[in-house]
Structure 1
Amino acid sequence: MTATLTPRPDTPARPDRPVRRIGLVGWGAIGRVVGTALAEGRVPGAELTCVIDNRPLVDAPAPQLSFDDALAVCDLVVEAAGQGVVREWAERVLTSGADLLIASTGALVDPELTARLRAAGPGRVYFTGGAVGGLDLLQAVRGLGPLTSVTLTTTKLPATLHQPWMDAALTARLHTTTEPVEVMRGTARDVPAKFPKSTNVAASVALATGDPDLVEVVVVADPDATLTRHVIEAAGPHGTYRFEVEHRPDAANPATSQVVPHAVLRSLGAVVGRAGQIL
């Protein structure tokens, strides 16, 4: 798809701009839902200006542009394509003056990357909680003082958790197990890097609590897991907290939950409707 687009104004000012021009990165299970909603005008204050994807697209409802061309015409980039995109492009997006909404929050547990993004600008960084709730309460609790323990237990179908780094024994166990198997236990800094498509929730919890090393993450493979389950348990001198959610996996991509693109849309609506939180 080709089209003539008006270059984005050089001025970074946005308060008087009635509509945010959105560049959507990724046309997969998340991007299709987000892009379709934008194209249908279901997010007031936002219009889908272009789609960025490394595959030729024939059904996108907006022009497919390269990343560099997209940055010339968009003032808000929505990432729905994986942690690698965040690592490669996030700084460039912010430096161009565009804001960035990140769905693949797993990339943000890298302290070097996060430091670079905090220092970059004039664009701003936002992230979405994705498939988990309770993050606003965990953020609020930080005002009372640090938590002493936070545990996230994520349970998914074995096929969605297999990774190239796994040895033959673990791979065989995932393929043959008839009962739940603990696949990995580690911190929210370690686990998202090992499961880049399946554990963004761990990073979202870490961002909410402010300490990736405090959050213990347990990844469980369950052959009977018709729903993806996330259980957050947190405690501190000021109280104890427990949140549990179960989601239907996306039919096209079982590694993600059906709710994730709708979480992105909700976050996008907040960003275009009022000032959001800056990373």
Structure 2
Amino acid sequence: MQRTVTRVGVVGWGAIGRTVGQVLAQGRLAGAELTCVVDNRPLHDIPVPQATLEQAIEECDLLVEAAGQSFVREWGTRVLEAGTDLLVASTGALTDDEAAAKLLAAGPGRVYFTGGAVGGIDLLQAARGLGGFRSVRLTTTKLPATLEQPWMDAELLDRMRTATGPVEVMRGTARDVPVKFPRSTNVAATVALAVGDPDRVEVSVVADPAAVRTRHVIEADGDHGSYRFEVDHVPDPGNPATSRIVPHAVLRGLAAITGTAGQIL
């Protein structure tokens, strides 16, 4: 029996989208083919035609979002209502309850999420069936320059830029933090989705000039057990705010969606 090929469009040709698109264009993921690329900048030397979002929705079976939280909020439901599936990388958009509810209720297209730069998500999801957690903590440590934001005052920026050691730049919940760091803390939202409650997840964002690698530490405790996961990622050389592993997590998600890879279920 011949396998159906999923026509994929990539939205956002940055560190994540470019890697995903190149793998698809090279035919390295059986069952999926790159049909078009959507980006708000003129692109050159891309392996397939550049399309408008409307064209991509019409031509593709599935869109890979690699464009940021604002795209998910503005276009996510429209994509799904048109009958096109959507794989979301910018999970931070889902910490807005109203936006999340609309996206999850939309259809007939289906929405998928990727764990991105963090592990242990399957275990956290499984533990929800045992009653959830008393506490969940996430500590994310990155280079100071990757965490600078327009809302930061001069005092905080100076502390980050002159730091000789770790500096906590924000502490809050997984609902609050992704809004303040829209390109740097999707991991917080991913953990919140797994746990089922963004207000339950306490997040600390740390700037460290010695953070050659991006570190995420998850600690969760409940009546059923205690868990600790720690990952240290090499940043993408073209965009240090993104870990190199993220596009490959997206590709693993695509393989699962298209049924082209064995999965541990």
Q: If the TM-score is normalised by the length of the shorter chain, which range does it land in?
A: over 0.9
Query: Residue 139 of structure 1 is aligned with which of 92, 103, 125?
Result: 125
Query: Residue 263 of structure 1 is aligned with which of 217, 238, 249?
Result: 249
- Other-structure match for 1:130: 116
Q: What is the alpha-carbon distance in structure 1 between the residues aligned to residue 196 and residue 211 of structure 2?
A: 30
Q: Which amino acid aligns with 2:7?
A: R
Q: What is the alpha-carbon distance in structure 1 between the residues aligned to residue 131 and residue 27 of structure 2?
A: 42
Q: What is the alpha-carbon distance in structure 2 between the residues aligned to residue 119 and residue 198 of structure 1?
A: 27
Q: Which amino acid aligns with 2:48?
A: A
1:184-208 alpha-carbon deviations (Å, 9 max, x no partner): 0000000000000000000000000
CA contact (8 A) 2:9 2:37 kept: yes
Q: CA deviation at 1:17?
A: 6.8
Query: Residue 87 of structure 1 is aligned with which of 73, 87, 99?
Result: 73
TM alignment of 1:1-279, pairs within 5 A: 18-273=4-259
Q: What is the alpha-carbon distance in structure 2 between the residues aligned to residue 34 and residue 161 of structure 1?
A: 24
Q: CA deviation at 1:228?
A: 0.3
CA contact (8 A) 2:3 2:31 kept: no
Please give the secondary structure, in 2, of the residue aligned with 1:144: coil
What is the TM-score with the length of structure 2 in the denominator?
A: 0.96
Q: Which amino acid aligns with 2:24?
A: L
Q: Which amino acid aligns with 1:193?
A: V
| Percent identity of equivalent pairs | 71
Q: Which amino acid aligns with 1:37?
A: V
Please give the secondary structure, in 2, of the residue aligned with 1:162: coil
Please give the secondary structure, in 2, of the residue aligned with 1:94: helix
Please give the secondary structure, in 1, of the residue aligned with 2:240: coil
Q: What is the alpha-carbon distance in structure 2 between the residues aligned to residue 17 and residue 210 of structure 1?
A: 35
Q: What is the alpha-carbon distance in structure 2 between the residues aligned to residue 32 and residue 268 of structure 1?
A: 15
- Other-structure match for 1:11: none
Please give the secondary structure, in 2, of the residue aligned with 1:256: strand
CA contact (8 A) 2:142 2:213 kept: yes
Q: CA deviation at 1:252?
A: 0.4
Give the ranges of 4+ consecutive aligned residues of structure 1 lying more than 4 Å apart after TM superposition: none
Q: What is the alpha-carbon distance in structure 2 between the residues aligned to residue 121 and residue 81 of structure 1?
A: 21
Q: Which amino acid aligns with 1:57?
A: L
Q: Which amino acid aligns with 1:204?
A: T
CA contact (8 A) 2:86 2:112 kept: yes
Q: Which amino acid aligns with 2:15?
A: A
Q: What is the alpha-carbon distance in structure 1 between the residues aligned to residue 98 and residue 45 of structure 2?
A: 37
Q: What is the alpha-carbon distance in structure 2 between the residues aligned to residue 77 and residue 108 of structure 1?
A: 17
Structure 2: segments with no counterpart, 5+ residues: 261-265
How much is the aligned-residue C-alpha RMSD, in angstroms? 1.0
1:82-133 alpha-carbon deviations (Å, 9 max, x no partner): 1011111100100010110000000011100111012210001100000000
Q: Which amino acid aligns with 1:101?
A: L
Q: What is the alpha-carbon distance in structure 2 between the residues aligned to residue 187 and residue 17 of structure 1?
A: 44
- In the superposition, relative to structure 1, how do residues 147 and 76 fare at CA in structure 2: closer, same or farther (>3 Å)? same
Please give the secondary structure, in 1, of the residue aligned with 2:235: coil
Q: CA deviation at 1:42?
A: 1.2
Structure 1: segments with no counterpart, 5+ residues: 1-15, 275-279
